[in-house]
Amino acid sequence: KPGKNIHCQWNVRIWTPNRILVMGDNVGIGAHSTIQTDTIIGNDVMIASHVAFVGKDAHTIKHIGKTMYESSRGDRHKIIIEDDVWIGFGAIILSGVRIGRGAIVAAGAVVTKDVEPYAIVASERARVIGYRFSKNDMVEHDNILQARGKWSLHTMSGIKD
């Protein structure tokens, strides 16, 4: 069942190889964004325009006697976006990645590995450039939002890619 208050702007393209696409409440996806992997998106997530969710090994390339076109799809890993995440313009998220709750992915970042909760990542290597909150403020923020019922997908740690 899809969440409530999901907004996809024009020319958003979605194709999931195993038909796995879960979206929580209050999800916005900007124009010209693409989802080409099985994806789970939590609550209160903002995805800017021109963002791409793509497979890192989308095609099998080592079949002797077959062209790459003839070969089967390779990568079957999900992308998991936890609650309260903001993904900036033109970011690229590769399959098998989990973006932790409260994280920010800067415009143009290429995310190839997991992002810690509340981390702010930038650049083509999506390196951590800071955190939204101090450790104490992270705990307080989590507790307040949990008390408000905002973390319905907060227990996403059980979801495997």
Task: Residue 130: give its domain's CATH number.
Answer: 2.160.10.10
Confirm whether 65 is domain-assigned: no
Q: Which of 16-30, 57-71, 93-107 has the lowest mean pLDDT?
A: 57-71
**Domain extent at residue 79:** 6-57+70-155
- Cα 137 to Cα 122: distance, rounded to the nearest angstrom: 22
Give the E-state strand segments of the chain in sequence order: 6-8, 13-14, 21-23, 27-29, 34-35, 39-41, 45-47, 52-54, 79-81, 86-87, 92-94, 98-99, 104-105, 110-111, 119-122, 127-131
Asked whether residue 99 is assigned to any structural domain, the reply reads yes
Is residue 121 assigned to a domain? yes
Task: Answer yes or no: is 63 within a domain.
Answer: no
Q: Between these two residues, 55 and 24, which has the higher pLDDT value?
A: 24
The tens digit of pLDDT for each residue in 124-143 reads 888 898 898 898 988 888 88
36 vs 156, higher pLDDT: 36
Mean pLDDT of 39-68: 85
Give the per-residue pLDDT at 74: 65
pLDDT(109) > 70 = yes
Instruction: Give the tens place of pLDDT for each residue, 76-94.
Output: 789 999 999 999 999 999 9
Number of structural domains (the chain) is 1
Question: What's the pTM?
Answer: 0.84
